[in-house]
Chains A and B, each alone.
Chain A
Amino acid sequence: MANLEVKIHNLTFKNPVITASGTFGNGVEFDDFIDVNSLGGIVLKGTTLKHREGNNYPRMAETASGMLNAVGLQNKGAEYFCKHIYPAVLRYDTNVIVNVNGSTIEDYIALAEIINDLEAIPAIELNISCPNVKEGGMAFGTSCPMAEQVTKEVRRVYSKTLIVKLSPNVTNIAEIARAVESNGADAVSLVNTFLGMAIDAEKRVPRLSTVTGGLSGPAIKPIALRMVWQVAQAVKVPVIGMGGIMCASDAIEFLLAGASAVQIGTANFVDPQVSVKVIAGIDDYLQRHNFNSVLDIIGGLQM
């Protein structure tokens, strides 16, 4: 077996495979399917300070090689998280990362402070890129000044590994990445979903209750890969790449483009065991190509 260990800031990951927020529940839903401890890390469902009901049904539309979602950050809030979800994930021997969301800077700060006190959570992923909420969310991730400000304020109160999750719905993603890096992000993750829409032509109505939603899955992979490659060249902090990864070779493309780790999202719906298959596939690739360590292929794209 090759050495699959990677480091993001001062955190060690057994392997570069992490499951993406909103596609892996709180991990426990996967216990019947895989050994969650074999993963490099898991990012829990997006959490907000206060309970959110999320958007109305329909929240999902299948599109060519992908899906649109408009969940709208349905979650039970920070208090419930600390009382019920945190105790349930304590038993995991992997990096459990909380995906932090807010409508205002104050919300982000308050939630980051609460999560900072949870000993078993070594990192947060600051989601400034949710396309499915009316206030805040993506607005923070699509403007440089706002991305800078929210990163800076959260950095003040959060002392562990701070990952900032970027929106692809921008003209120049490298610019936003540099903005959050220079304001204290320890790593960046990208991409969140692309704003899209689908119409039921027969009924002449939108297929999502919110009209627009976030596109994920293999349909977005080439664009996500391009963005990860651009960002990896623009910043010094580690990059976590995602967007449409369905198999090990997809994951390897992201690593070659410069990602230090990858996240798997929508693929978990198609195959709940995909994450462990990707780990095995990366190992197999490294052995076939005589690499001792996964570090040997990160950013290893030959031009």
Chain B
Amino acid sequence: MNKRVGQLQLIKKIKLNYNNYLLEFKADSILSDIKPGQFVNIQIDRSPSTFLRRPISIYDVNYQTDTISLVVKIVGAGSETLTSTEPGSIIDMVYPLGNGFSQPKAGDKCLLVGGGVGVAPLYLLAKEMNINGIKPFILLGARTAEDHILLSEFNKLGEVFLTTNDGSLQVKGFVTDHEIWSNSLNFNKIYCCGPEPMMKAVAAKAAKLDIDCEVSLENLMACGFGVCLCCVTKTHDGHKCVCTEGPVFNIKDLEWQI
């Protein structure tokens, strides 16, 4: 679907835990072909502290009802204002943006690794995999049990494994400490989204095990559609814009010291 500036109506707001919300929006046009990993760029209020738009991954799309869902974690003024918006309000978004994840080949054994609110884009990816007959393995990490969100949704789409930094739920430690890595499950594809240190650790594992791996980056953005050149990451082919040539990159293209 072509990029557009849309006026979407917030129709549902669900508090997932103390600082994460699920927001569902009704689009003002017919939705089609939104790829897992793509994002929207939301106008908050143009106030002095939230002058630029805020990029948020697309968590889910419903083509029957033309609705888009997002998961937003409160980290500052923009996310605070957005999550305190009441249903019925109209929100201005530029969407859909970015390239999205590649689709696995039939029969691929896929591992999805998510950390914190980074689980968001993996949901639509897992959903599409299910439609294509692939049941992914899903490894999610968070600080504490309370920080794990949307587990019942992910449970419907594949086998879910969890880690918590404090050991309050399942395996204690980081996602890379989970025994799934030592089981010979023979993954051929890893998809990862989360804090950068986590993605780098996962990328290092994938590289060591020689498994193809895609990561979704969250660089700071001014425009979101490839004109300001502020969001770049270093690749073997020079600086690339995360907003247009990403946010999803194959780790073999990135200049990551892993």
Q: Which residues of A are in contact with B by a Cβ distance under 8 Å? A: 22-25, 29-30, 32-33, 45, 53-54, 56-62, 64-67, 69, 71, 74, 217-218, 246, 266, 268-273
* Contact flag A271-B239 (CB < 8 Å), given A57-B219, A65-B51: no
Would B53 and A269 count as touching, CB distance under 8 A?
yes
Which residue on chain A has the smallest CB distance to residue B227?
A25
Would B53 and A270 count as touching, CB distance under 8 A?
yes
The 9 lowest CB-CB distance pairs between A and B, nearest first, are: A60-B230, A25-B227, A269-B223, A32-B3, A65-B48, A64-B48, A59-B230, A269-B222, A32-B2
Would B226 and A25 count as touching, CB distance under 8 A?
yes
Cβ-based interface call for B171 (8 A): no
* Contact flag A66-B229 (CB < 8 Å), given A57-B219, A273-B5: no
Q: List 18 A-B contacts (CB under 8 A).
A: A25-B226, A29-B227, A30-B227, A33-B5, A56-B234, A57-B219, A60-B222, A62-B51, A67-B52, A69-B222, A71-B230, A74-B232, A74-B239, A217-B51, A218-B51, A268-B223, A269-B227, A270-B51
List, in ascending order, chain B residues with CB within 8 A of A32's CB. 2-4
Would A62 and B239 count as touching, CB distance under 8 A?
no
Cβ-based interface call for B233 (8 A): yes
Would A271 and B229 count as touching, CB distance under 8 A?
no
- Tell me the minimal C-beta distance from B240 to chain A in angstroms: 11
Q: How far is the CA of A59 from the CA of B230 in the complex (A)?
A: 5
Q: How far is the CA of A25 from the CA of B225 in the complex (A)?
A: 9
Q: How far is the CA of A224 from the CA of B94 in the complex (A)?
A: 29
Would A57 and B233 count as touching, CB distance under 8 A?
yes
List, in ascending order, chain B residues with CB within 8 A of A269's CB. 52-53, 222-224, 227-228
Which residue on chain A has the smallest CB distance to residue B92?
A271
Cβ-based interface call for B112 (8 A): no
Would A60 and B231 count as touching, CB distance under 8 A?
yes
Of A24, A58, A218, the contact of B227 (CB 8 Å cutoff): A24
List, in ascending order, chain A residues with CB within 8 A of B228's CB. 22-23, 60, 69, 71, 269
- How many of B's residues come within 8 Å of A, CB to CB? 31
- Tell me the minimal C-beta distance from A213 to chain B in angstroms: 10
Report B202-230 residues with CB < 8 Å from chain A CB: 219-230
Knowing that A24-B227, A60-B228, A272-B223 are A-B contacts, what are 6 other residue pairs whose CB atoms are under 8 Å apart, sorted by A's residue number? A25-B226, A57-B234, A61-B220, A67-B51, A69-B230, A71-B228
- Tell me the minimal C-beta distance from B243 to chain A in angstroms: 10
Of A33, A54, A61, A268, the contact of B239 (CB 8 Å cutoff): A54
Would A272 and B232 count as touching, CB distance under 8 A?
no
- Tell me the minimal C-beta distance from B244 to chain A in angstroms: 8
List, in ascending order, chain A residues with CB within 8 A of B227's CB. 23-25, 29-30, 45, 268-269
Would B4 and A270 count as touching, CB distance under 8 A?
no
Q: How far is the CA of A270 from the CA of B230 in the complex (A)?
A: 14
Would A272 and B94 count as touching, CB distance under 8 A?
yes
Q: How far is the CA of A138 from the CA of B232 in the complex (A)?
A: 23
Of B219, B220, B239, the contact of A53 (CB 8 Å cutoff): B239
Cβ-based interface call for B184 (8 A): no
Q: How far is the CA of A22 from the CA of B222 in the complex (A)?
A: 12
Q: How far is the CA of A57 from the CA of B234 in the complex (A)?
A: 9
Q: How far is the CA of A273 from the CA of B229 in the complex (A)?
A: 19
List, in ascending order, chain A residues with CB within 8 A of B152's CB. none
Of B220, B223, B224, B239, the contact of A58 (CB 8 Å cutoff): B220
Which residue on chain B has the smallest CB distance to residue A67?
B222
Cβ-based interface call for B250 (8 A): no
- Tell me the minimal C-beta distance from A45 to chain B in angstroms: 8
- Tell me the minimal C-beta distance from B58 to chain A in angstroms: 17
Q: Which of B2, B43, B46 has the most CB of A within 10 A?
A: B46
List, in ascending order, chain A residues with CB within 8 A of B52's CB. 62, 67, 269-270
Would A74 and B229 count as touching, CB distance under 8 A?
yes
List, in ascending order, chain B residues with CB within 8 A of A74's CB. 229, 232, 239
Report B20-44 residues with CB < 8 Å from chain A CB: 43
List, in ascending order, chain A residues with CB within 8 A of B107's CB. none
Q: Which of B52, B92, B222 has the most CB of A within 10 A?
A: B222
Q: How far is the CA of A218 from the CA of B43 in the complex (A)?
A: 16
Would A271 and B5 count as touching, CB distance under 8 A?
yes
Q: How far is the CA of A54 from the CA of B231 in the complex (A)?
A: 12
- Tell me the minimal C-beta distance from B78 to chain A in angstroms: 9
Q: How far is the CA of A45 from the CA of B53 in the complex (A)?
A: 21
Q: How far is the CA of A24 from the CA of B229 in the complex (A)?
A: 11
- Tell me the minimal C-beta distance from B235 to chain A in angstroms: 11
- Tell me the minimal C-beta distance from A161 to chain B in angstroms: 24
Which residue on chain A has the smallest CB distance to residue B223?
A269
Q: How far is the CA of A29 from the CA of B3 in the complex (A)?
A: 10
Of A23, A29, A60, the contact of B220 (CB 8 Å cutoff): A60
